[in-house]
C-alpha cells in the first residue's frame, strides 16, 4: 500500500486486503503518516513527503543488485531496461535513506520481499498522484512491477484506487481530453474518429482538449470564457481556492448542474438541478477495478430536479438538435456500438452477472479479471508491444521547506467523510470530528499549542485558522489536515495549484506551512464561524 | 492493527512493570513505549505483532497478581504490547474466574480474594458450615470488607465460594488470591477461618513452594495407596505403579528423582526411537485418563505422521473435574516424572515444544513443576540437545485462570493461544489442526505418567495388567463418607466395593446411599452397583462412567438434592456459553432441579416452588433438555452436563416417578 | 488482451441425504448439500459471508457413525456419508435449540424463516415457566464469570434488559440477542477487522460487549453497521429504523428494495436501498456481491441523507 489510506478512504476494498492478510499475505505500507492502513502493515516505511521516486528507484536498484529481477520477463516483454538500470544505479540505499528518512535495512527488506513473492501487488492512491510529478511517481511503481514480473498475472499487478464511484466510468466514456469513449485515442485513432463522426453526423476533430488544470490556465489567459460543470465542485476541491473562485467568477457564462447548491453553483450564472445518479436515475458506473455496474432509480427526485439525460437532451433541443427521448439503456447501447471494449455488455448481462470488468468485447466474454496478461504470451504476435521502463528521477516537492515555512502539511481523508463534504457532511455520524490541524506532539509542544487551541496556518498562498490536535502518528515537522469541511476550514487556501503537466493533478500532498498561535480575535472569529455553521 | 485504545486513565507504573516483567520493555513508540528517533520512519506490526497474542493470559495473570484487578488502562497497555483489540482482551479477561475486571470495591487495592471450595466433596465434608462460619467472620460472600481486629492489615478481603479446588481428600480447601504480594496465589487445605486469618497475616504455613522437603506434606490423611510404603501391597497392585515415587522422592530434587530411576525411561525412549515409543504405547492399549478414554497411540501416531511442522505436545494439567485431585498429587509429589513424560511425548510425536497447562488453582504444583522444568533445562534434560542426543525439546508452563472448560482439549488450545477457552468444533482434530493451527497432541497428567510405566515394563507387559478392555492401573480419588479419603491406585478390574473398602468402607458403618462416579460430569450409582468392575467396559455396561476416577461415597445422611443443586450450579457457572444447548440447557437444568429439590440451606430461594404442571411434566422436560445437550452440544461439558441429574433421577434420588430411559449415547465423554 | 481466471475444477463427492444420493463439489458442507437438495435446513449463526462458528446448533444433522449430531454448516461432506435431516434425534434437538432461544430471548423480530421454523418444530417456550423479570441496565454486563445467583426455579431466566441507545447510528437491544457471534465476526476478522465488540463473560452471562461495556462512541466502533447487516433477530438496528418502529411507522409491506451502487469512493459497493414513501429508510448490501460480500462502510450504510434532505426541503 503506497500512498494509500485505504482503510479509511476505500474501506471495503481494504476488507479484501484484510482477507489476504488473514490468509497470510504480507503487507508493507509506504506513507508519511502511520495511518490506520499502515498500522496493519508488517512494516511501515514512513517516508518524507514526496520522496517516493527515490525510494522506488532504490528498491529497484537493490532488486537488480541482489539478482532478483525476472530476467526472462524483462527480455521478452519489456524495453528500455538498460537505461533504467543505469538510472536507478544512482539510487543506492544510502541515498534513499537520506531522501526518505527510512532506514536502509527496511528498504532492503521491502525490496527483497517484493521481488521474491510469488504474487505481489502495489496499490496506490492520492499519496502517489497528488504531486506535481504524479505521473512520474506512477511510472516509478510500474517499473517495479516490470522488473519483477509482478504484472499481468492472477494475484499480481498494479492497483490504482479511484476516488469516486464513477471517475473510472467518466474516463471510459471519454470524459478525458485525449480519448473517445472506450479509451480510443482522439488524435491517433483515425478509424475510431470516423466511426464516431459517422454515428453523429459531424466530423470529430483530431485534437485533444484541455484537462482541468489547463482549463483554469485557459481561463486565466482569457481563452476559456464559458464552462458547463456537471457534478463537480472545483471551488472547494481545487487547490488554491481564492484563485479558482476568481477565475470562475470571471467567466462570461458558468453553468452548473448539480444536485445541491455547491460553492461552485453559488457563483454560477445558471444552475440546473440534476438527479442523484446513483438512486434517482438509471445508468451505469465503473468502479476502480473496471467493473461496469448498474445504478438504478430507487426514489423520485425532488420537484424541479431533472434526470441528467433529459437536461442534456433538452439543451441540445434548444440548441437546435432533437435527440429524441433516449433511455439510459438506449445510450448504453450507443456506447456499446462505438466502444469495442464495452460491446459485450448488455444491460441484461450486467444484470445477470452483477457487473462486468472491461474489456468485454463480445457476447461470449464474461469480462476480464486482470489486464496485461498478453505480456506473458509465448507468441510474440500475441504478446504485442513490449512494456517500456521509464527513467524517472527524484524531484522534490515544489513548495520547499524554509525557515519561514518549516512544516510539511500533507492532506488526506477520514473514514466517515468524503472529499469536500458536500454529500458526507449531511449525515449524522458519531465518528465525526471537526477539522483540525494535526501536529506531531513535539511540534504542538514547541508551539505551546494544546488540543483545540486555535492556530493560524500560513502557506505561501494564504492563511487559515484551525484547532490543533496533537497526533502521535505524525513525526516532527509533519502536519496533517483533511479537506472535508471547507466551510469551517478552507484547507485548499493553503495548497499549491501547481499541477503535474502529464496528469493535470495538483500537489495537494506537499504544502510548506508555518504554524502560529492565533490571536484571540482570530480564535474568536473561528469559533463564531463554526458555531454559526452548526446551527 | 489499527487499535483504538479507549481507557480514560493510562496504566499505572506498577501495571506497566508487571507487563514488562513478562514481555520485556516495549520495543518502540508503536508498542506503548516512549517515542524514539527511529520510530519516526519505521514501525513493525502485522503478522509478527499479532502473533504475540498467545501471551495474553500470562500477562493478565501478571497484572492480576500485581494489582488485584485488570484496569482499563492496564488492558490498553496489554492491547498495545500484544496487538490485541481491547474488546477482545476484555472478552478474555472476563471469561476466567481468577481475573477481576472491576476494582476491589473497598477502594483498597490490591485486594484479597479467598476462594472457599463448596463443591461436591467439600459439601459432603461440611462446606456449608464452613461457609456460614466464613460469613460470620468475614462478612457475606462477595462483599469486600476492611477487616478489623482479626489480624489483617489494611487489605480488603473478599471471600467467595469456589468450584472444586482439588483437595477433596482433605475435607476443605481454599485458594487465596492476594495481589501485590510475593505469593499472589496460595492454596490452603484444610481450611478454617483461623487458618485463613493466619495465612493472610503471614503466620500460616509457608506460602507457595516448599522446596527441599523430602517428604512433602501432601495430605493430612492418606490412604493405603497414597504416600505410603505399603503401596505395593495394596489390593491388586502388581508390577505397574504410577505412585511408586510419591512420598519417596524429594519433589524439589532432580538428584532424588534420578536416584529413584528418573530419566531412565527417556533414555529408553531415545533408544527405541519415536515409532518404537508409539508401538509400546499401542501394545499397552493405553487409553486417555482424562475422562474420554481415547486410545493414546492414535493421537500420537497422527501427530507423528503429519508432515506439517512445527508440531506441539501439550500436557493437560487443568484438572478441574469436581472430586478429582489425582493429577495435583502427582505433580506436587513427583513433578520430574511429568517433565520426563512430556519430553517422551514430544520425542514420540516429533515436537520440539511442549506446553504444560496447569490450572491456576494449583500454585504449589505449579511452583514445583516450574522448578523441575528449570532444573531439567539446567541439566540438559530439556533444551537443544536433550540428554546429549540430537533431539531438541523444551517445555513452557502456562497457567489457567479459573475455567473448568479449559480442561477440554480444544478449549485448552484456545486458552494457550490467548483466547477465551471455548471448545472448537471437531473435526478438524488437534492432530490435524491444533495449537496455532499446527498438529498437536494433548494428554492428561495421569496418561503421561502411565507412559513412563509402559516404557518401564514394556507395552505387552503393561497390557497384561488389568482387563483386556482396560489395561494397566488406574488412580481413584476417594472422598466423601469414608474414613480414609485419598488417592488410591488399583489394577483395572477392581470392583467399586473393593475400592470403597480400601478406604475403610462407609464411615461409621452407615448405610451407603449412593456413589458419585467420575465427578460432576459422571453418574450416581446405588449400592446395587458395588460389584461393578471399575473398567471402561464395566462402567459402560452399567450406564456409568469412570470419568476422571472420582469415587465420592455418600452415606444415607447426605442430601443428594443438595449435591445436585451444587452440580447444576457448577455446570451453569462453567459452561463457556458458546453453544445454545449447553448455555441455556445448563440454566434450564438448574431451574428444574431447583424446583424438584427445593431451596437448599445457605442458598437463596423462597419456599419450595411448585413444579411446573407436575413432576412428570418436569421429568419430561428434563429428558428433552438432556437430549439436546447430550446430542447437540459442541463439547463434552455440555454432553455430560445432565448425566449426574439423570442418573440421580433413575435411582430415585430425586423426582421419584421418573420413567424415561431412552437417552441416546450413554457412554460418557468427560471433558 | 483478455484473460479470465478460472478456478481449478473441483472433484465431486457423493453423499446420501435422507436416502437420496447427492453429489456436491469437494469441500462443500453438509448444509450446502442439503440446500442443493432443497431441504429446508434451519440456521441462525450461519451466514454465507461469514466463517461458520457452529454455535447455535440448530442446523444439526445426524451422520451415521457419529456419536453426536453434527452441525451441517461446518461439517464437510465426505464420500459415503449417510445423513439424516429429519430423524427424531434431529427434530428434537432443533426444536429444543429453538425453544431454548425463544424462552431466553425476544425473537419476535427474527426473520420470517426463523418464525416459520419455530412454528414447524412445535416450539413451546412456556414449558419453562414464566420469564424472569428483565435485568436492570448494566446488570448483565457486570456479571462475573463463574458466579450467579442460584435460582429458585420459579421463573425462566432470560437475557432481558433495557435497550442500549448511546449513539446516533444504531441501537443494541440485547434482550433479542441469541449470541450467534455473527456481529462479532462481522466486526472482527470476517470483514471489518475493527474488533469493537467481542463476546465477554461466560455461560448464560456471556454477552456481546465492548471493553468494560463502554458506550459505542467510547469504543473502537466505526459505525460500518456490518453487525446490523448480519444480526438475525433485530437486536441490532439503525436508530432510524428503531425510531420508526417505536413510532409505529415502520412498514415493510410498503417498502421497495432497489439495487444500485454506493455514491462515494471508487470501490463500487453494491447497495440495496430500502425505500418507504419515497424515502430511503435503510441500506443493506447483498451477501453475494463480489465487491462487498454484504458489508459496507459508514458512508455507504448511513451516508444517504444528502439526497433525502433535498426532498424534505421541497
pLDDT at B227 over 70: no
What is the rounded average pLDDT of the residues A405-424? Answer: 88
Cβ contact, residue pair B42, A43, below 8 Å: yes
**Can you give the residue range of the structural domain that contains A71?**
6-163
Claim to verify: residue C224 and residue C256 sit in the same structural domain: no
Query: Which residue in B635, B516, B515 sits closest to B577, CA to CA?
Result: B635
Bridge partner residues of A176 (DSSP):
A179
Claim to verify: residue C105 and residue C198 sit in the same structural domain: no
CB atoms closer than 10 angstroms to residue B379: 14
Give the model confidence (pLDDT) of B400-439 as tens digits. Answer: 999 999 999 999 999 999 999 999 999 999 999 999 999 9
How far, CA to CA in Å, does C1 sit from each of A366, A375, A377, C60? Answer: 13, 9, 10, 48
Q: Does A476 touch chain B (CB under 8 A)?
A: yes
Q: Does A164 touch chain C (CB under 8 A)?
A: yes
A372 in any annotated domain: no
The alpha carbon dihedral of B242, B245, B251, B253 has a sign of: negative
Q: How far is A475 from chain B (nearest CA, A)?
A: 5
B6 in any annotated domain: no
pLDDT at A74 over 70: yes
A53-57, A326-330, A432-436, B86-90: least confidently modelled range: A432-436
Strands (E), chain C: 12-17, 20-25, 60-63, 70-71, 82-84, 170-172, 198-200, 207-209, 236-238, 255-261, 270-276, 279-284
Q: How far apart are CA A59 and CA A53, in angstroms?
A: 10
- Which residues of chain C neighbour A12 with C-beta distances below 8 Å? 267, 269, 291-292, 295-297, 300
Claim to verify: residue B508 and residue B567 sit in the same structural domain: no
- Which residues of chain C neighbour B573 with C-beta distances below 8 Å? 145-148, 203
Q: How far apart are CA B505 and CA B492, in angstroms?
A: 20
> How many distinct structural domains can be found in chain B?
5
A422 in any annotated domain: yes
With a cut of 0.85, is the ipTM above it? yes
What letter does residue C7 receive in the DSSP assignment? P
CATH of residue B568's domain is 1.20.1440
Instruction: Copy the grid coordinates of residue B608.
Output: 419450595
Confidence bin at B221 (pLDDT 50/70/90): very low
C66 in any annotated domain: yes
**Can you give the residue range of the structural domain that contains C31?**
10-128
pLDDT at B209 over 50: no
Cα C132 from chain centroid? Answer: 25
What letter does residue A123 receive in the DSSP assignment? E
> What pLDDT shows up at residue B605?
43
Cβ contact, residue pair B43, A106, below 8 Å: no
Grid look-up 446513483 returns A278
> How many distinct structural domains can be found in chain A?
3
Claim to verify: residue C46 and residue C81 sit in the same structural domain: yes
Cβ contact, residue pair C202, B664, below 8 Å: no
Residue of C68, C152, C209 lying closest to B594 (CB–CB): C152
Claim to verify: residue B384 and residue B354 sit in the same structural domain: yes
Confidence bin at C7 (pLDDT 50/70/90): low
Q: How far apart are CA C260 and CA A293, in angstroms?
A: 8
pLDDT at C8 over 70: no
Cα C195 from chain centroid? Answer: 17
> What pLDDT shows up at residue B144?
65
Q: What backbone torsions phi and psi does residue A256 show, to the nearest 5 degrees?
A: -120, 125
Grid look-up 464469570 returns C145
Cβ contact, residue pair C198, B90, below 8 Å: yes
Residue B516 and residue B554 in contact, taking contact as beta carbons nearer than 8 Å: yes
- Which residues of chain B neighbour C157 with C-beta distances below 8 Å? 587, 591
Q: How far apart are CA B438 and CA B316, in angstroms?
A: 17
Claim to verify: residue B322 and residue B386 sit in the same structural domain: yes
B265 in any annotated domain: yes
Q: How far apart are CA C196 and CA C219, in angstroms?
A: 6
Residue of C96, C203, C214 lying closest to B581 (CB–CB): C96
How far, CA to CA in Å, does C251 sit from each of B623, C239, C248, C274? Answer: 42, 15, 8, 11
For residue B158, the surrounding DSSP H or E stretch is: strand B157-162
What is the rounded average pLDDT of the residues B245-259? Answer: 92
Could you give the angle at the alpha carbon of B235 between the alpha carbons of B231 and B240, nearest 5°?
60
Q: How far apart are CA C38 and CA C94, in angstroms?
A: 18
B523 in any annotated domain: yes
> What pLDDT shows up at residue B353?
98
Q: What backbone torsions phi and psi does residue C258 show, to the nearest 5 degrees?
A: -120, 130
pLDDT at C117 over 90: yes
- Which residues of chain B neighbour A47 with C-beta distances below 8 Å? 41
CATH of residue A109's domain is 3.40.228.10
pLDDT at B477 over 70: yes
Which chains are within 8 Å of C by 3+ CB pairs?
A, B
Confidence bin at B137 (pLDDT 50/70/90): confident
How far, CA to CA in Å, does A4 sit from each of A58, A344, A409, B1? Answer: 20, 33, 16, 16
Question: Is the pLDDT higher at C1 or at B353?
Answer: B353
| Closest chain A residue to C225, measured at CA | A429
Claim to verify: residue A59 and residue A202 sit in the same structural domain: no
Claim to verify: residue C193 and residue C89 sit in the same structural domain: no
Query: Which residue in C61, C74, C71 sits closest to C27, CA to CA?
Result: C74
Q: How far apart are CA C147 and CA A373, in angstroms?
A: 62
Claim to verify: residue C22 and residue C84 sit in the same structural domain: yes
Claim to verify: residue B572 and residue B533 sit in the same structural domain: no
What is the rounded average pLDDT of the residues A268-272? Answer: 96
Residue of A9, A280, A355 lying closest to C307 (CB–CB): A280
Q: How far apart are CA A409 and CA A412, in angstroms?
A: 10
Residue A370 and residue A154 in contact, taking contact as beta carbons nearer than 8 Å: yes
Q: How far apart are CA A404 and CA A409, in angstroms?
A: 14
Claim to verify: residue B132 and residue B264 sit in the same structural domain: no
> What pLDDT shows up at residue C9?
65
Query: Which residue in B592, B579, B569 sits closest to B635, CA to CA?
Result: B579
Residues 208-237, chain C, touching A (beta carbon < 8 A):
216-217, 221-224
pLDDT at B587 over 70: yes
Among candidate residues A131, A163, A195, the one where a domain is terminated: A163
Q: How far apart are CA B448 and CA A378, in angstroms?
A: 61
> What pLDDT shows up at residue A497?
74
Claim to verify: residue B546 and residue B568 sit in the same structural domain: no
B100 in any annotated domain: no
Bridge partner residues of B524 (DSSP):
B516
Residues whose CB is less than 8 angstroms from the CB of residue B44 and which lie 6 or more positions away in sequence, other chains included: A42, A43, A44, B28, B30
A114 in any annotated domain: yes
> Which ranges constitute the DSSP H helices of chain C?
30-36, 88-104, 112-120, 182-187, 226-230, 239-247, 298-302, 305-312
Claim to verify: residue B545 and residue B567 sit in the same structural domain: no
> What pLDDT shows up at residue B141?
86
Percent of chain B predicted with pLDDT > 90 = 75
pLDDT at C214 over 90: yes
Instruction: Copy the grid coordinates of residue B254.
Output: 532432580
Confidence bin at B662 (pLDDT 50/70/90): very low
Q: How far is C44 from chain B (nearest CA, A)?
A: 11
Task: Specify the 3-state DSSP secondary structure of B286.
Answer: coil
Query: Which residue in C180, C237, C185 sits closest to C206, CA to CA?
Result: C180
* Rg of chain A taking only CA atoms, in angstroms: 24
Claim to verify: residue B177 and residue B290 sit in the same structural domain: no
Strands (E), A47-126: 78-79, 121-124
Claim to verify: residue C191 and residue C291 sit in the same structural domain: no
How far, CA to CA in Å, does B238 sit from each of A93, B111, B116, B353, B462? Answer: 73, 50, 38, 34, 10
A387 in any annotated domain: no
Confidence bin at B110 (pLDDT 50/70/90): low
- Which residues of chain A neighbour C280 with C-beta distances below 8 Å? 279, 298-299
CATH of residue B119's domain is 3.40.30
Cβ contact, residue pair A43, B46, below 8 Å: yes
Claim to verify: residue A320 and residue A279 sit in the same structural domain: yes
Residues whose CB is less than 8 angstroms from the CB of residue B185 and which lie 6 or more positions away in sequence, other chains included: B65, B98, B175, B176, B177, B178, B360, B361, B363
**Can you give the residue range of the structural domain that contains B39?**
13-93
> What pLDDT shows up at residue B105?
62
Among candidate residues B183, B201, B219, the one where a domain is terminated: B201
- Which residues of chain C neighbour B565 with C-beta distances below 8 Å? 150
Instruction: Copy the grid coordinates of residue C48.
Output: 454465507
Cβ contact, residue pair B591, C75, below 8 Å: no
> What pLDDT shows up at residue A489?
82
Claim to verify: residue A133 and residue A177 sit in the same structural domain: no
Amino acid at each position: 500500500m503506497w500512498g494509500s489510506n485505504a482503510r479509511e478512504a476505500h474501506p471495503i476494498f481494504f476488507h479484501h486486503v484484510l482477507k489476504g492478510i488473514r490468509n497470510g499475505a504480507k503487507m508493507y505500507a509506504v506513507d508519511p503518516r502511520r495511518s490506520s492502513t499502515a498500522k496493519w502493515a508488517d512494516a511501515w516505511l514512513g517516508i518524507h513527503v514526496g520522496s517516493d521516486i527515490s525510494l522506488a528507484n532504490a528498491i529497484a536498484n537493490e532488486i537488480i543488485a541482489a539478482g532478483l529481477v525476472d530476467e526472462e520477463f524483462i527480455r521478452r516483454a519489456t524495453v528500455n531496461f538498460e537505461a533504467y538500470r543505469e538510472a536507478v544505479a544512482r539510487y543506492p540505499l544510502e541515498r534513499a535513506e537520506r531522501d526518505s528518512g527510512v532506514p536502509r535495512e527496511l528498504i532492503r527488506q521491502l525490496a527483497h520481499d517484493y521481488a521474491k513473492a510469488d504474487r505481489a501487488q502495489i496499490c496506490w492512491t492520492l499519496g502517489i498522484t497528488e504531486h506535481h510529478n504524479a505521473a512520474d511517481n506512477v511510472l516509478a511503481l510500474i517499473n517495479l512491477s516490470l522488473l519483477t514480473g509482478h504484472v499481468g498475472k492472477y494475484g499480481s499487478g498494479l492497483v490504482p484506487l479511484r476516488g469516486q464511484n464513477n471517475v473510472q466510468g467518466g474516463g471510459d466514456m471519454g470524459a478525458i481530453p485525449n480519448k473517445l469513449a472506450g479509451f480510443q485515442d482522439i488524435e491517433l485513432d483515425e478509424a475510431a474518429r470516423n466511426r464516431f463522426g459517422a454515428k453523429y453526423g459531424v466530423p470529430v476533430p483530431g485534437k485533444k482538449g484541455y484537462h482541468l488544470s489547463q482549463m483554469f490556465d485557459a481561463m486565466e489567459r482569457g481563452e476559456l470564457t464559458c464552462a458547463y460543470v456537471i457534478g463537480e465542485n472545483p471551488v472547494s476541491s481545487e487547490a488554491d481556492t481564492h484563485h479558482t473562485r476568481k477565475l470562475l467568477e470571471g467567466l462570461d457564462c458558468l453553468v452548473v448542474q448539480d444536485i445541491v447548491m455547491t460553492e461552485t453553483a453559488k457563483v454560477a450564472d445558471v444552475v440546473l438541478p440534476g438527479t442523484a445518479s446513483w438512486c434517482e436515475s438509471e445508468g451505469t458506473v465503473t468502479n476502480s477495478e473496471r467493473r461496469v455496474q448498474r445504478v438504478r432509480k430507487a426514489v423520485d427526485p425532488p420537484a424541479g430536479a431533472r434526470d441528467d439525460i433529459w437536461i442534456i437532451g433538452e439543451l441540445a433541443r434548444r440548441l437546435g438538435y432533437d435527440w429524441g427521448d433516449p433511455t439510459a439503456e438506449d445510450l448504453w447501447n450507443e456506447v456499446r456500438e462505438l466502444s469495442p471494449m464495452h460491446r459485450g455488455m448488455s444491460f441484461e448481462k450486467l444484470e445477470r452477472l452483477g457487473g462486468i470488468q472491461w474489456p468485454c468485447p463480445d457476447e461470449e466474454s464474461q469480462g476480464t479479471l486482470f489486464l496485461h496478461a498478453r505480456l506473458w504470451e509465448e507468441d510474440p504476435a500475441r504478446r504485442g508491444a513490449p512494456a517500456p521502463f521509464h527513467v524517472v528521477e527524484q524531484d522534490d516537492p515544489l513548495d520547499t521547506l524554509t525557515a519561514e515555512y518549516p512544516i510539511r502539511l500533507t492532506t488526506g481523508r477520514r473514514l466517515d467523510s468524503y472529499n469536500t463534504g458536500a454529500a458526507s457532511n449531511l449525515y449524522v455520524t458519531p465518528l465525526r470530528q471537526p477539522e483540525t490541524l494535526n501536529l506531531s506532539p513535539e511540534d504542538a509542544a514547541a508551539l505551546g499549542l494544546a488540543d483545540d487551541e486555535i492556530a493560524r496556518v500560513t502557506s505561501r498562498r494564504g492563511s487559515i485558522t484551525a484547532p490543533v490536535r496533537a497526533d502521535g502518528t505524525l513525526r516532527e515537522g509533519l502536519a496533517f489536515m483533511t479537506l472535508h469541511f471547507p466551510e469551517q476550514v478552507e484547507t485548499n487556501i493553503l495548497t499549491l495549484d501547481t499541477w503535474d503537466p502529464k496528469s493535470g493533478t495538483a500537489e495537494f500532498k506537499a504544502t510548506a506551512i508555518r504554524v502560529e498561535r492565533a490571536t484571540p480575535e482570530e480564535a474568536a472569529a473561528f469559533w463564531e464561524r463554526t458555531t454559526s455553521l452548526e446551527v | 492493527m489499527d487499535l483504538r485504545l479507549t481507557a480514560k486513565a493510562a496504566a499505572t507504573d506498577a501495571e506497566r512493570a508487571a507487563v514488562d516483567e513478562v514481555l520485556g520493555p516495549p520495543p518502540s513508540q508503536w508498542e506503548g513505549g516512549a517515542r524514539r528517533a527511529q520510530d519516526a520512519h519505521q514501525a513493525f506490526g502485522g503478522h509478527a505483532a499479532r502473533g504475540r497474542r498467545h501471551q495474553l493470559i500470562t500477562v493478565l495473570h501478571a497484572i492480576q497478581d500485581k494489582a488485584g484487578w485488570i484496569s482499563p488502562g492496564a488492558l490498553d497497555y496489554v492491547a498495545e504490547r500484544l496487538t490485541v483489540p481491547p474488546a477482545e482482551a476484555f472478552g478474555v479477561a472476563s471469561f476466567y474466574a481468577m481475573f477481576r475486571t472491576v476494582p476491589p470495591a473497598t477502594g483498597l487495592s490490591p485486594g484479597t480474594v479467598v476462594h472457599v471450595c463448596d463443591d461436591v466433596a467439600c459439601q459432603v465434608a461440611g462446606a456449608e458450615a464452613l461457609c456460614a462460619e466464613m460469613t460470620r467472620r468475614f462478612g457475606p460472600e462477595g462483599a469486600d470488607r476492611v477487616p478489623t481486629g482479626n489480624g489483617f492489615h489494611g487489605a480488603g478481603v473478599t471471600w467467595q465460594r469456589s468450584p472444586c479446588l482439588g483437595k477433596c481428600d482433605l475435607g476443605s480447601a481454599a485458594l487465596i488470591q492476594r495481589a501485590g504480594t510475593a505469593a499472589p496465589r496460595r492454596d490452603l487445605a484444610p481450611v478454617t477461618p483461623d487458618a485463613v486469618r493466619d495465612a493472610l497475616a503471614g503466620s500460616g504455613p509457608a506460602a507457595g513452594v516448599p522446596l527441599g522437603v523430602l517428604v512433602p506434606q501432601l495430605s493430612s490423611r492418606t490412604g493405603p495407596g497414597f504416600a505410603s510404603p505399603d503401596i505395593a501391597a495394596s489390593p491388586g497392585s502388581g508390577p505397574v505403579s504410577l505412585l511408586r515415587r510419591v512420598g519417596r522422592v524429594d519433589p524439589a530434587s532432580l538428584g532424588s528423582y534420578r536416584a529413584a530411576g528418573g530419566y531412565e525411561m527417556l533414555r529408553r525412549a531415545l533408544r527405541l526411537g519415536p515409532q518404537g515409543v508409539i508401538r509400546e504405547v499401542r501394545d499397552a492399549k493405553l487409553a486417555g485418563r482424562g475422562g474420554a478414554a481415547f486410545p493414546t497411540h492414535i493421537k500420537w501416531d497422527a501427530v507423528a505422521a503429519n508432515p506439517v511442522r512445527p508440531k506441539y505436545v501439550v500436557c493437560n494439567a487443568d484438572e478441574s473435574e469436581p472430586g478429582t485431585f489425582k493429577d495435583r498429587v502427582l505433580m506436587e509429589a513427583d513433578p520430574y516424572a511429568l517433565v520426563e513424560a512430556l519430553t517422551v511425548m514430544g520425542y514420540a510425536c516429533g515436537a520440539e515444544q511442549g506446553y504444560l497447562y496447569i490450572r491456576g488453582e494449583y500454585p504449589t504444583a505449579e511452583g514445583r513443576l516450574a522448578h523441575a522444568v528449570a532444573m531439567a533445562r539446567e541439566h540438559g534434560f530439556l533444551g537443544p540437545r536433550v540428554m546429549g542426543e540430537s533431539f531438541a525439546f523444551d517445555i513452557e508452563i502456562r497457567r489457567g485462570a479459573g475455567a473448568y472448560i479449559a480442561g477440554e482439549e480444544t478449549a485448552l488450545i484456545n486458552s494457550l493461544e490467548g483466547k477465551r477457552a471455548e471448545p472448537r468444533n471437531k473435526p478438524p482434530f488437534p492432530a490435524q489442526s491444533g495449537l496455532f493451527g499446527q498438529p498437536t497432541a494433548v494428554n492428561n497428567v495421569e496418561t503421561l505418567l502411565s507412559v513412563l510405566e509402559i516404557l518401564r515394563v514394556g507395552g505387552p507387559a503393561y497390557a497384561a495388567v488389568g482387563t483386556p478392555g482396560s489395561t494397566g492401573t488406574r488412580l481413584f480419588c476417594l472422598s466423601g463418607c469414608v474414613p480414609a479419603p485419598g488417592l488410591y491406585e488399583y489394577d483395572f478390574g477392581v470392583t467399586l466395593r473393593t475400592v470403597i473398602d480400601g478406604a475403610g468402607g462407609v464411615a461409621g458403618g452407615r448405610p451407603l446411599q449412593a456413589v458419585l462416579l467420575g465427578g460432576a460430569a459422571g453418574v450416581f450409582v446405588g449400592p446395587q452397583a458395588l460389584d461393578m468392575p471399575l473398567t471402561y467396559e464395566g462402567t459402560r455396561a452399567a450406564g456409568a462412567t469412570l470419568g476422571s476416577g472420582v469415587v465420592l461415597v455418600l452415606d444415607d445422611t447426605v442430601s443428594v438434592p443438595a449435591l445436585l443443586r451444587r452440580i447444576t450450579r457448577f455446570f451453569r457457572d462453567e459452561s463457556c456459553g458458546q453453544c445454545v444447548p449447553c448455555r441455556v440447557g445448563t440454566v434450564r437444568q438448574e431451574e428444574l432441579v431447583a424446583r424438584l429439590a427445593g431451596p437448599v440451606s445457605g442458598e437463596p430461594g423462597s419456599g419450595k416452588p411448585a413444579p411446573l404442571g407436575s413432576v412428570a411434566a418436569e421429568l419430561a422436560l428434563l429428558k428433552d433438555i438432556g437430549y439436546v445437550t447430550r446430542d447437540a452440544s459442541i463439547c463434552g461439558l455440555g454432553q455430560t452436563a445432565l448425566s449426574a441429574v439423570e442418573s440421580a433421577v433413575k435411582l430415585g434420588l430425586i423426582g421419584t416417578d421418573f420413567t424415561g430411559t431412552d437417552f441416546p449415547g450413554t457412554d460418557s465423554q468427560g471433558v | 488482451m483478455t484473460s479470465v481466471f478460472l478456478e481449478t475444477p473441483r472433484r465431486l463427492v457423493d453423499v446420501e441425504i435422507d436416502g437420496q444420493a447427492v453429489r456436491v463439489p469437494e469441500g462443500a458442507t453438509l448444509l450446502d448439500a442439503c440446500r442443493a437438495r432443497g431441504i429446508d435446513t434451519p440456521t441462525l449463526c450461519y451466514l454465507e459471508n461469514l466463517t461458520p462458528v457452529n454455535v447455535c446448533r440448530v442446523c444439526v444433522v445426524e451422520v451415521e457413525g457419529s456419536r453426536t449430531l453434527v452441525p451441517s454448516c461446518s461439517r464437510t461432506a465426505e464420500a459415503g456419508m449417510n445423513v439424516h435431516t429429519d430423524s427424531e434425534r434431529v427434530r428434537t434437538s432443533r426444536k429444543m435449540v429453538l425453544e431454548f432461544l425463544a424462552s431466553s430471548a425476544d425473537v419476535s423480530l427474527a426473520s420470517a424463516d426463523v418464525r416459520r421454523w419455530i412454528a414447524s418444530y412445535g416450539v413451546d417456550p412456556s414449558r419453562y415457566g414464566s420469564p424472569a423479570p428483565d435485568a436492570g441496565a448494566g446488570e448483565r454486563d457486570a456479571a462475573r464469570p463463574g458466579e450467579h445467583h442460584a435460582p429458585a426455579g420459579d421463573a425462566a431466566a432470560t437475557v432481558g434488559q433495557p435497550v442500549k441507545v448511546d449513539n446516533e447510528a444504531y441501537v443494541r437491544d440485547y434482550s433479542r440477542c441469541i449470541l450467534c457471534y455473527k456481529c462479532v465476526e462481522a466486526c472482527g476478522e470476517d470483514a471489518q477487522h475493527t474488533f469493537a465488540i467481542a463476546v465477554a463473560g461466560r455461560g448464560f452471562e456471556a454477552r456481546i460487549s465492548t471493553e468494560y461495556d463502554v458506550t459505542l462512541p467510547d469504543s473502537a466502533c466505526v459505525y460500518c453497521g456490518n453487525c446490523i447487516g448480519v444480526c438475525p433477530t433485530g437486536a441490532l438496528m439503525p436508530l432510524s429504523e428503531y425510531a420508526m418502529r417505536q413510532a409505529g411507522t415502520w412498514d415493510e409491506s410498503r417498502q421497495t428494495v432497489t439495487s444500485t451502487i454506493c455514491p462515494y469512493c471508487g470501490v463500487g459497493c453494491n447497495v440495496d436501498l430500502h425505500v418507504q414513501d419515497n424515502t430511503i429508510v435503510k441500506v443493506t448490501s447483498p451477501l453475494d456481491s463480489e465487491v462487498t460480500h454484504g458489508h459496507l462502510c459508514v458512508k455507504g450504510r448511513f451516508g444517504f441523507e444528502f439526497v433525502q434532505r433535498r426532498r424534505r426541503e421541497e
